[in-house]
Chain A
Amino acid sequence: MSDALLQLNQIKQSYGQQVVLHNLSLELKKGEIGCLLGSSGCGKTTALRCIAGFETIAAGEIWLDAVCISSPSIFMPPEQRRIGMVFQDYALFPHLNVMENIGFGLHFLPQSERKRRVEELLYVVQLIGIAKRYPHELSGGQQQRVALARALAPKPSLLLLDEPFSNLDVTLREQLSVEVRDIIKEQGATAILVTHDQTEAFAIADKIGVMNHGEILQWDAAFNIYHRPINRFVANFIGQGAFVTGSVIDNRHVAIELGILTSEVPQQSENGSLVDVLLRPNDIIHDDTSSVLATVTQKTFRGADILYSLRLDSGAEVLAIVSSHHDHQIGEKIGIKLEVDHVVTFKR
């Protein structure tokens, strides 16, 4: 046994013929925040519902706190799992005010302790002034914080968040995701979040699982997901980038048309074989003095920087992020150089 708080071993789930989860495995330590990231229909919400106990599983095991809570033969009812959940639409009780909503899960506590815990949470989520309001009188961000406080109130061993920010507007989303992370960490909770938004995942999670077709392709820290993607799907799904052709010189060097990249070549490739090399926009630096030139084919002004699409001599396209002080026109040739710290190659 590992020291994981939550462990999913090869779980499977399907609706009739349609396989929803396929050999899904992950591990989460106490105090960590995990994230299941994927496009809609990849099974991430189903995975969450299996952990919560709203779905049964066809194969595999789910362990929480060294207890098997779900397997094809074992099923612990959701109310006994001590798992809190923040629902996508918050699902606040419209007939209860903020305090009553937060205190709802504390029915096992005596009145005084219950009140203390509710007040503590009101303070944590900064809703003290509006404790007597009803859900329909709250803004989206406030509703979300009530939902979070309600889920945290009984001190669950695990907190699940189903697309918690998808109903909020973009500016609020970034601010709240940092706040939510701080609250979860402050309460010492362990959490899993489900989202389709990678910036959200990066902002909140310690561990991210990139999902596709009911499988976790990579379960890793944000840094590794971005810089050391395990396969082409993850590389494409996370961040931006472009593939160029390279040829392997030896296990430390790969030649591409812009020069020779020096780093450990992660995948076993024969010397001389052709590979696809991932170039992130920040791997390519604009340098007016460089002799290597590329033609601007597209540009997106993004405020602090401009994202340029550049065509190389071979016709291959790459992306480059350049400070927005450098305003170049489409069709112009600009000098570039390479600065690749993490070489990512895939066999062709």
Chain B
Amino acid sequence: MAIWRFIPFTTAVTVLLPVVVVFSSFWVPTDDVWRHLVETTLLTLIINTAWLAFGVVIGTAILGVSLAWLTSVYEFPGRAFFSWALLLPLATPAYVTAFVALGLFDFTGPIQTSLRVWLDSDLSWFPDIRNRFGVIMILTLAFYPYVYLLARNAFMSQGRRSLEVAQSLGLNRRQGFFKVALPMARPWIASGIMLVLMETLADFGTVAVFNYDTFTTAIYKAWFSMFSLDAASQLASLLIILVFAVIVLEQQSRLKMQYAENKKSHRANRILLCGWKKWLVCGLVFVTLFAAFFLPIMQLSIWAIQSVTANFDFLRFGEFLWNSLILSFLAVLLVCLMAVVMVYVARRFSTTSIRYAIRIATIGYALPGTVLAIGIYMPMVWFDGKLNEWISYWIEIENGQLLQGTLITMLIAYLIRFMAVSYYPIDGAMQRVTRNIDEAALTFGVHGWAMISKVHFPILKPGIFTAATLVFIDVMKEMPITLMTRPFGWDTLAIRIFSLTSEGQWEQAALPAVTLVLAGLVPIIVFMRQTEH
């Protein structure tokens, strides 16, 4: 079936399409809006983005690496719990943590209100967190788990052992950490930092709610406030250059990881901390986790309860929830189906060109949602125009919008963005279906569809399940693509949070946020159960 072979190429072209479209806007003559942007805000955007990227990278690196080191090498009260619980902030979308923080530290928020009462002061000295450092703090707390997870993998497989080697060569633990464990874990840490960098550059919701202008919010404003698609896409092309630099660095650190992989994992004897040290470590880890996860969740729950007990429009909430669910469901069907087909093609025809096509097809996770939205919307407009010309030749129609502003546009954008999320788990499961397994089945006379349903599917099932779960949750939490390409008035939970928080209605946004966090806990629990086995 040679036609299957073209699927990876088609997907790769689909992924490249928005990139090419966005870049081609470079040659479009600049309009007034663009000139206005360059003169007024471009420098601010660059400075803001640079500060944000720098701050979040430093913050997540320090936080992620030290938490990973503490939980994989030392033994202290609650270590087993913290070791997985530190991943929990992944369940909370950064924009949720952001608006909770704003609500908490608001003039009318619980912290200032109670402080005013206790101290009997007007709190004029109280710092405003709605600034650069506030955003950096929030994104650090939201994204450190990426660095933590990868660094922990490295330290678990080699941390304690590399310390032993260092000690047997006369280095103490401190020297061992800096001279051995840290350099050895560098590819993993770098890879985690690159993920953080991608997420930071792509972040829209957090910077939007903080009113901190970066490229993503500028793209949105250029399009939706100044109505200049060209200016938006020229901004997007600048952002994409940054992202590509990160992708190249990321691929390099992955390459280094292959060499560093340790073959065996050994029984790790953790170093027992005693006395005040163990409580200090336990306390530090707890404070981090509390700030990053439990505090926002507690505040959200309080708001959610308050908003529900007041006159709450359950019907509308149900509508948003339904929209979120149906959208995620459709995306899962499309993305997972394509991923399965691609995994099969990759297995059946393992040529260099197909491998490259798949590499490209799975690179979309790095494209910021705002860039993707523009890059997919512009071809749709063009396509609608052509289609209109053609149809109006035969019949008369009023509305020229056939693809733009439909679910189809959104789904294609999701396909590009979340292909990698579904491809890798399924591909991982497929690695277990070796050629020998196929041949063993053939010797029993099982082939064709019977082989797929009796042999392949049961082995692939966990991988497909993981992929489906991840895509489902990611689409639910997704904000910029949904915001910019959805059909008019078609709101999801994430969109609802965006519009409510941009008006400072924290309480009203709490229930949708809690729903997203609960959904986000599912893949973490799935992941935990997988790593336990």
Contacts and interface: CB of A to CB of B under 8 A. Distances in A.
A79 interface: yes
Contacts, number: 69
A108 B170 contact: yes
Interface string A92-125: 0111000000001101100000000000000000
B455 interface: no
B168 interface: yes
A54 B164 contact: yes
A85 B263 contact: no
Q: Which of B164, B168, B183 has the most chain A CB atoms inside 10 A of its CB?
A: B168
B165 A89 contact: no
Nearest to A82: B170
Contacts of B251: none
A203 B165 CA distance: 26
Given A91-B162, A94-B184, A95-B183, A77 B260 contact: no
B264 A89 contact: yes
B269 interface: yes
A105 B162 contact: no
B256 to A, nearest CB: 8
B334 interface: no
Query: Which among A78, A88, A136, A153 has the highest number of chain B CB atoms within 10 Å?
Result: A78
A151 interface: yes
Interface residues of A, number: 31
Given A54-B164, A54-B269, A87-B161, A95 B260 contact: yes
Interface string A60-101: 000000000000000001111011110111010111000000
B260 A85 contact: no
B172 A89 contact: no
B169 interface: yes
Given A78-B167, A82-B170, 10 more contacts: A80-B170, A85-B164, A89-B262, A89-B263, A89-B264, A94-B184, A95-B260, A105-B169, A105-B170, A105-B171
Contact of B169 (A84, A134, A135): A84
B259 A55 contact: no
Among all A-B residue pairs, the 9 with the closest Cβ atoms: A105-B169, A78-B167, A85-B168, A94-B260, A136-B259, A79-B167, A91-B165, A79-B172, A95-B183
The number of chain B residues touching the other chain, given as a range, is 20 to 34
Nearest to A136: B259
Query: For chain B, what secondary structure do more than half of its interface residues adopt (helix, strand, loop), or is it mixed?
Result: helix
Interface in B143-184: 158, 161-162, 164-172, 180, 183-184
B186 A95 contact: yes
Contact of A87 (B165, B180, B183, B269): B165
A87 B163 CA distance: 12
Contacts of A91: 158, 161-162, 164-165
Nearest to A85: B168
B170 A93 contact: no
A241 to B, nearest CB: 35
A51 B25 CA distance: 69
Given A54-B269, A91-B162, A93-B184, A78 B259 contact: no
B283 to A, nearest CB: 26
B168 A83 contact: yes
A154 B169 contact: yes
A153 B169 CA distance: 9
A77 B183 CA distance: 23
A91 B262 CA distance: 8
B169 to A, nearest CB: 3
A85 B269 contact: no
Contacts of B260: 94-95
Given A89-B264, A95-B183, A53 B167 contact: yes
Nearest to A153: B169
A94 B185 CA distance: 10
A136 B187 CA distance: 15
A52 interface: yes
Contacts of B262: 89
Interface in B170-216: 170-172, 180, 183-184, 186
6 contacts: A77-B167, A91-B165, A93-B165, A95-B183, A95-B260, A136-B259
A105 B170 CA distance: 6
A79 B262 CA distance: 23
Interface in A19-38: none
With a 10 A CB-CB cut-off, give which of B169, B180, B259, B263 has the most chain A CB atoms: B169
Nearest to A52: B168
A192 to B, nearest CB: 13
Contact of A151 (B158, B168, B171): B168
B165 A85 contact: yes
A79 B184 contact: no
Contact of B168 (A55, A84, A134, A135): A84
B164 A78 contact: yes
A80 B158 CA distance: 22
B184 A77 contact: no
Contacts of B263: 89
A79 B169 CA distance: 7
A134 B256 CA distance: 12
Nearest to B170: A79
A94 B259 contact: yes
A150 B167 contact: no
Interface string B324-347: 000000000000000000000000
Contacts of A135: 259
Nearest to A89: B264
Contacts of B170: 79-80, 82, 105, 107-108, 154
A150 B166 CA distance: 11
A104 B184 CA distance: 14
Contacts of A53: 167
A83 B165 CA distance: 11
Contacts of A87: 161, 164-165
Contacts of A151: 168-169
A308 B170 CA distance: 53
A340 to B, nearest CB: 45
Contacts of B171: 79, 105, 107
Contacts of B164: 52, 54, 78, 85, 87, 91
Given A87-B161, A134-B259, A93 B167 contact: no
B169 A104 contact: yes
A26 to B, nearest CB: 20
A77 B173 CA distance: 10
Nearest to B160: A54
A91 to B, nearest CB: 5
